[in-house]
């Protein structure tokens, strides 16, 4: 029965002058129109994108104006000094740096002078250097400063080897540190 229906439809199509592939043609035409629509959408999207970028570029300018008004207060000068490639492990240096962070410069010097840790000497020299920078470069009084920030970052590791029993060699890692100090004037 299904075969008879197909044959009758084909015969009716031939009688009316239509071709069977005509049904597929609208699908192809629709497929051809879709890329054109996509191209139009992409072009429209590209036109909108610069407008969005321009709008975003204007927004930070608006936000910057209130910040400039807020910065009318005098900025606190920050004096920095750094020591790079210091031959001490960062983990050991951080123990000393954590004790000094936030202290007045005189208290920090006293603590470092009597500290038994090896990193204390290097950090004390660095704080003295930052104090000298404050006096010479920023015209500040060195004794009226405090350690506002001190960081100890890891530097490159020197890799050495040590001979061991039975012809073996074990690695020795000699770690280095990058230490940075920031001093600010004490608020009265």
Residue 48's pLDDT is: 52
CA-based nearest residue to 96, from 114, 117, 80, 82:
117
How much is the pLDDT for 7? Answer: 61
**Entry pTM:** 0.60
pLDDT of amino acid 38: 57
- What is residue 108's predicted lDDT score, i.e. its pLDDT? 97
Quote the tokens at residue 61: 């300018």
Q: Specify the fold of 79-185.
A: Ribosomal Protein L22; Chain A (3.90.470)
With beta carbons less than 8 A apart as the criterion, state whether 109 and 146 touch: no
Instruction: Please give the pLDDT value at position 141.
Output: 93
Per-residue pLDDT at 74: 72
- Token duo for residue 58: 């204007």
- Round to whole Å and give the CA distance between 125 and 133: 12
Cα dihedral sign, 94-98-104-106? negative
Sheet of 79-86: strand order equals 79-86, 177-185, 145-154
Residues of the chain with pLDDT under 70: 1-73, 188
For residue 56, what pLDDT is reported? 53
What is the pairing mode between strands 169-174 and 79-86? Answer: unpaired
């Amino acid at each position: 029965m299904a075969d008879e229906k197909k044959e009758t439809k084909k015969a009716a199509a031939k009688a009316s002058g239509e071709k069977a592939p005509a049904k597929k043609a609208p699908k192809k035409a629709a497929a051809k129109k879709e890329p054109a629509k996509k191209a139009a959408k992409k072009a429209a999207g590209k036109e909108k994108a610069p407008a969005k970028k321009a709008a975003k570029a204007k927004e930070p300018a608006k936000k910057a104006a209130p910040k400039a008004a807020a910065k009318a207060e005098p900025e606190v000068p920050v004096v920095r000094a750094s020591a790079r490639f210091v031959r001490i492990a960062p983990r050991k240096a951080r123990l000393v740096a954590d004790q000094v962070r936030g202290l007045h410069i005189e208290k920090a010097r006293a603590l470092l002078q009597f500290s038994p840790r090896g990193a204390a000497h290097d950090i004390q020299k660095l704080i003295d250097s930052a104090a000298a920078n404050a006096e010479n470069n920023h015209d500040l009084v060195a004794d009226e400063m405090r350690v506002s920030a001190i960081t100890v970052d890891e530097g490159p590791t020197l890799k050495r080897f040590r001979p061991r029993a039975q012809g073996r060699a074990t690695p020795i890692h000699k770690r280095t540190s990058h230490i940075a100090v920031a001093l600010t004037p004490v608020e009265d």
